[in-house]
Amino acid sequence: MEEVKLLGWWMSPFSRRVELALKLKGVGYEYIEQDLANKSQLLLEYNPVHKKVPVLVHNGKTMAESLVILEYIDETWPNNPILPRNPYEKAMARFWAQFIEEKCNGGLWKIMWCKDEEERGRLVEEASHCFRTLEGELKGNKFFGGDEIGMVDIAANFIGYWLGVVQEVSGMELVTRDKFPVLCKWMDEFVEHSVVKETLPPRDKLHAEFEARLGAPSWKY
Amino acid sequence: MANNNNNGDVKLIGAWPSPFVMRPRIALNIKSVEYEFLQEQFGSKSDLLLKSNPVHKKIPVLLHNDKPICESNIIVEYIDEVWSAGPSILPSDAHDRAVARFWAAYVDEKWFPNVRGAAAASSEEAKNAAVDQLKEGMALLEGAYVEISKGKDFFGGEKIGFIDIAFGSMLAWLRALQVMLGGVKLLDEEKTPGLCKWAAKFSADPAVKDVLPETEKIIEFAKLLVAKIKAAAASS
């Protein structure tokens, strides 16, 4: 019997990526919500190296790191593939997923926690360049995966949904409709996707959490 | 140009000191695929590199029939998938593959930044902090090696696999760092006995031995690199 468990956190885009992939493939799983302020014995046992979510457990075997888990899911449940089969196309998908993680999400993270206005300005410009590059990869398609969402779209989930909330809370205007019309259109399609919708944390709850965590006044600009 | 039968035209843009470039070189050797090694000049980037990797402008870049593939671990996976008839690099079991990818990511995201941190540290304090992190990482990797190798020589078992390539490619720099930091032990017979044995076996492997540079050569190169970094910092 297949036994699939997912250790996650409602707010984490990383654990939501895994949920999205499982739902796209119609794989049933037991979801175990984690309290990251008080890490459970289970989490510490299953991910001793990083002590983070998500952790996927399949028939007793554990694995960590969301992009690694996505590949496992695609290989284990090959229906509704999220990665291309062609090695070159697959390499490209992996490249863009990594780019999103390192440059786009990485850049956003630095901006979110940067208190120095001048440095933040520089980081925003750098990030803008990365988003322009990413936008170019849509190439007239509905999704990065083509007609259907794929690994790159899933990897970009923070950009697709969380970023909007972060921009609202902070007043940051990095990815706006007039500056990035094509990327914003992708964001619209992404959040409207029938399966993606099921995996998005409630917007008002997310908004409240970001307000609290990012600390209000000193961070708005 | 090498006659590759049905392998197509294979070129690799890189440079001999880069551990990231060593990865696809080892992978191509495992698959017995001949390739043209286009070495970049130290301190400048060729037009071909800038055209082939406009996003990152970094080596390595594999050019397979003129199609560029970038990012070392992604290139290794590509090589494994395209030349599937040769000895396999990724394990066959999906969970084992997830474990392999996990540790390759660990090397790049957690362990390697401390190598740079230790080598380029501006203060004694920063250097010691980086070295402590490296040692912690070595302990984790030792544990992973014992668990994953299951008594065999390599992380990949009887032969070199994905983790071996990802981490083994770092060995020349690891050994050089030990010397440059005045005899710091990262590969430690007492603390990391498994990795010590593994390192020797890995370095001697036919697919590796002509790719992994001598420690002294890396030390020499590191001096050039540090001088360049310092000059850039001084002029900015």
**pLDDT tens-digit readout, B51-109:** 999 999 999 999 999 999 999 999 999 999 999 999 999 999 999 999 999 999 999 99
8 Å CB contact of A76 and B97 = no
Using left for φ > 0, alpha for ψ between -120 and 50, and beta otherwise, residue A84 falls in beta
Nearest to A49 among B82, B98, B140 (CB): B140
Optimal mutation site among B31, B99, B163, interface A, most CBs of chain A within 10 A? B99
B 158-217 residues inside an 8 A Cβ radius of A: none
| pLDDT at residue A221 in the model | 38
CA A70 – CA A155 distance, rounded (Å): 9
Greater confidence, B186 or B225? B186
8 Å CB contact of A71 and B67 = no
8 Å CB contact of B102 and A99 = no
> Is some CB atom of chain A closer than 8 A to the CB atom of B147?
no
**Arithmetic mean of pLDDT, B138-166:** 98
> Is some CB atom of chain A closer than 8 A to the CB atom of B143?
no
Number of H helices, E strands in chain A: 12, 4
Write out the two tokens for A100: 């999103």
Chain B residues with CB under 8 Å of A69 CB are 98
CA of A197 to nearest chain B CA: how many angstroms apart?
27
CA B201 – CA B204 distance, rounded (Å): 5
Q: What was the ipTM of the complex prediction?
A: 0.94
Q: What is the pLDDT of residues B176-204, one digit of tens each?
A: 999 999 899 999 999 999 999 999 999 99
Strands, E, within chain A: which ranges? 4-8, 30-33, 55-58, 61-64
Write out the two tokens for A14: 């990383």
If pLDDT is split at 50, 70 and 90, which confidence band does A215 have?
Answer: low
Above 70 in pLDDT, residue B42?
Answer: yes
If pLDDT is split at 50, 70 and 90, which confidence band does A19 have?
Answer: very high
Q: Which amino acid is at B43?
A: G
If pLDDT is split at 50, 70 and 90, which confidence band does A219 have?
Answer: very low
| pLDDT at residue B152 in the model | 98
Q: Report whether B225 contacts B180 (CB < 8 A).
A: no
Count contacts between A and B (CB, < 8 Å): 55
Nearest to B101 among A49, A68, A76 (CB): A68
Optimal mutation site among B64, B74, B90, interface A, most CBs of chain A within 10 A? B74
Nearest to B71 among A72, A87, A95 (CB): A95
- How far from A209 is each of A12, A53, A205, A213, B203, CA to CA, in Å? 12, 18, 6, 6, 50
- In 3D space, the residue among B74, B45, B43, B80 whose CA is nearest the CA of residue B59 turns out to be B45
Q: Which amino acid is at A66?
A: S
- CA torsion sign for A142, A147, A148, A149 is negative
Q: What is the pLDDT of residues A65-110, one digit of tens each?
A: 999 999 999 999 999 999 999 999 999 999 999 999 999 999 999 9
Cα angle at A107 between B101 and A136, to 5 degrees? Answer: 85
Q: Which domains are seen in chain A, by residue range?
A: 4-76 (3.40.30.10), 87-219 (1.20.1050.10)
| Helix B171-180, helix B112-119: angle, nearest 10 | 30
8 Å CB contact of B74 and A133 = no
Half-sphere exposure of A132 (CA within 13 A, CB side): 9
Name the burial class of residue B21, with classes exposed (0-12), middle (13-18) and buried (19+) by CB atoms within 10 angstroms of its CB: buried
Cα angle at A22 between A20 and A28, to 5 degrees? Answer: 130
Write out the two tokens for B234: 């001084």
B113 prior amide bond cis, ω within 30? no
* Phi/psi of residue A58, nearest 5 degrees: -125, 115
CA of B75 to nearest chain A CA: how many angstroms apart?
7
8 Å CB contact of A63 and B69 = no
A 117-146 residues inside an 8 A Cβ radius of B: 133
If pLDDT is split at 50, 70 and 90, which confidence band does B34 have?
Answer: very high
8 Å CB contact of A64 and B102 = yes
| pLDDT at residue B226 in the model | 81
Reading across the β-sheet that carries B67-70, which strands appear in turn? B36-39, B10-14, B61-64, B67-70
> Is some CB atom of chain A closer than 8 A to the CB atom of B126?
no
Please name the helix (run of DSSP H) or strand (run of DSSP E) that holds residue B180, with its range, or none: helix B171-180
8 Å CB contact of A90 and B71 = no
Q: What are residue B13's DSSP bridge partners?
A: B38, B61
8 Å CB contact of A65 and B74 = no
A37-44 long-range Cβ contacts below 8 angstroms, 24+ apart: A42/A7, A43/A7
| pLDDT at residue A218 in the model | 46
Chain A residues with CB under 8 Å of B99 CB are 63
| pLDDT at residue A217 in the model | 46
A42's CB contacts (< 8 A; 6+ apart) are A7, A32
Could you tell me the pTM of the whole model?
Answer: 0.95
CA B173 – CA B175 distance, rounded (Å): 5
| Helix B94-106, helix B124-149: angle, nearest 10 | 170
Above 60 in pLDDT, residue B4?
Answer: no
Q: What is the pLDDT of residues A138-195, one digit of tens each?
A: 999 999 999 999 999 999 999 999 999 999 988 888 999 999 999 999 999 999 999 9
Nearest to A63 among B74, B78, B102 (CB): B102
3-state secondary structure of B157: strand
